[in-house]
Amino acid sequence: MTSAAADKPLWQRLIRQWLTLVFTLFMIGIAIGLMILGQSVLAERAAAVTPPQAAPAMHVQTDRLVLSEGYEVPRRFPGQIEAAQHTVMAFEQGGTIAHLAVDEGDRMTAGTVIARLDTRLIDADRTRLMAARRALEAQAELAKRTTRRQTELSERGFASLQAVDNVALRLAELEARIAEIDASLVSVDLQLEKSELRAPFDAMVSTRMVDTGSAVGSGQPVFSLVQASGQQFRVGLTPDALAALTSTNDVAAIFGNKRYPLRLNAVLPELDSATRTRTVLLDFVGSELPPLRDTGALVLTQMVTERGAWVPLAALQDAPRGLWRLMTVTDDGGQTQVQAEAVEVLFSDAERAYVRGTFREGMRYITDGPHRVVSGQTVSLLQEAG
């Protein structure tokens, strides 16, 4: 307080403070009155405005849940097409290739001559043996006649028994030498036979390893042949897949985008220790086949027993803890409301999923756009998707 204010009398100071208080209270009252007046005006204006109409219920499309006892899972197992028979042809004896009758890609029937060695030396040896045989035959004929004469003379007493024995043994020696020549001729004929390669079955030439005029050794590959028909698909299957194969009639192999029907031929007895699979051979049904050694996949359908239902992928919504949410609709007092059901996806493909969860048979669910609604929301139903 300044010295001038302190010099004023006490009563003047009290009057001044009282006037200040009255003025402050007066201004507060004016402010309160203006606030009350403003609220009244706003209330009157709000009452004059027409209230908005309630938003119509969202339209959703639904379908009914149909429970199944299980679902089928397609499984693919890689395999390879191979010929029923495949062999590498070679001569058992060495020589010079005189003629090749076929080339790569050619087809032939069983028994067809496909290659021949130069056999001039063998032919010459056979000619020599035949000449030697004829000479021995002539000597044997002379020995037979001599034996008959000596026998007649011996019976008359003009020849000794020793002379008869000599000509008889000479005849036996000549017959033994003729038999030896015959055995040599058989060996020569066998060499001539083995100088030709013949197709062991109806086949196609896969590879030609030599040319005409080449000198080949014993066992040297000349042609690689594959059987012209009866191609098979070789695949390794696990024991559970093998059970599915034996109970299924309709199986096929996929090569690229093309499907080739198969028929079970044999299941090999041994279990592969590395892959824990058993080798299965299947025959192709039909004439149009993929190339040999091409790799394809055997498609099998395996049944999994698990109660659940198929739903479109678009009907599922993410939920916590690795689960999914399926939005269903129920009738509650004449209003159709949304509720959420927790589901687990057991199997899915490109368009739908097989699920199990808290739903029941015949419940209606929202087939598309579950993110547009929330649990408890009232909706309007379109016709069922099914």
The domain locations on the chain are: 10-48, 60-69+306-381, 74-84+229-304, 89-113+201-228, 120-194
CATH T-level topology, domain 89-113+201-228: OB fold (Dihydrolipoamide Acetyltransferase, E2P) (2.40.50)
> Six-digit token pair at 234?
């070789």
Q: Who contacts 377 (Cβ-Cβ below 8 Å, separation ≥6)?
A: 58, 337, 338
pLDDT of residue 117: 95
Q: Are 311 and 363 in contact (CB under 8 A)?
A: no
pLDDT of residue 353: 94
Calculate mean pLDDT across residues 183-211. 92
The whole-angstrom separation of Cα 214 and Cα 312 is 69
Collapsing DSSP to helix, strand or coil, 356 comes out as strand
The whole-angstrom separation of Cα 89 and Cα 97 is 13
Predicted model pTM: 0.57
Residue at 218: amino acid letter? S
Residue 326 has a CB neighbour count (10 Å cut-off) of 25
pLDDT of residue 308: 94
CATH architecture classification, 60-69+306-381: Beta Barrel (2.40)
The whole-angstrom separation of Cα 69 and Cα 306 is 6
| Class at the top of the CATH hierarchy for domain 120-194 | mainly alpha
For residue range 251-309, list pLDDT tens digits in order.
Answer: 889 998 898 988 888 888 888 888 889 999 998 887 788 888 899 999 888 888 899 99
For residue range 109-142, list pLDDT tens digits in order.
Answer: 999 999 999 999 999 999 999 999 999 888 888 8
Counting runs of H as helices and runs of E as strands, what totals does the chain give?
5, 22
pLDDT of residue 4: 52
For residues 77-103, one letter each, b for 16 or more C-beta atoms within 10 angstroms of the residue's C-beta and e for the rest, the string is bebebbbeeebebbbeeebebeebebe
**Would you tell me the crossing angle of helices 161-193 and 120-156 to the nearest 10 degrees?**
160
Q: Residue 163: pLDDT above 80?
A: no
For residue range 61-94, list pLDDT tens digits in order.
Answer: 899 999 999 998 888 899 999 988 899 999 999 9
Q: Who contacts 260 (Cβ-Cβ below 8 Å, separation ≥6)?
A: 252, 253, 254, 284, 285, 286, 289, 290, 296
The DSSP line for 223-290 is EEEEESS--EEEEEE-HHHHHHHHT-S-EEEEETTEEEEEEEEEEEEEEPTTT--EEEEEEE-SS--P
Residue 17 — pLDDT band, cuts 50, 70, 90? confident
Residue 244 — pLDDT band, cuts 50, 70, 90? confident
Calculate mean pLDDT across residues 330-357. 88
Q: Are 200 and 159 in contact (CB under 8 A)?
A: no
Mean pLDDT of the chain: 84
Calculate mean pLDDT across residues 370-374. 87
Q: Are 41 and 197 in contact (CB under 8 A)?
A: no
User: Which residues share a beta bridge with 297?
Assistant: 78, 254
pLDDT of residue 252: 87
Write down the residue that tokens 């149009």 correspond to: 288
Residue range 74-84+229-304, CATH number? 2.40.30.170
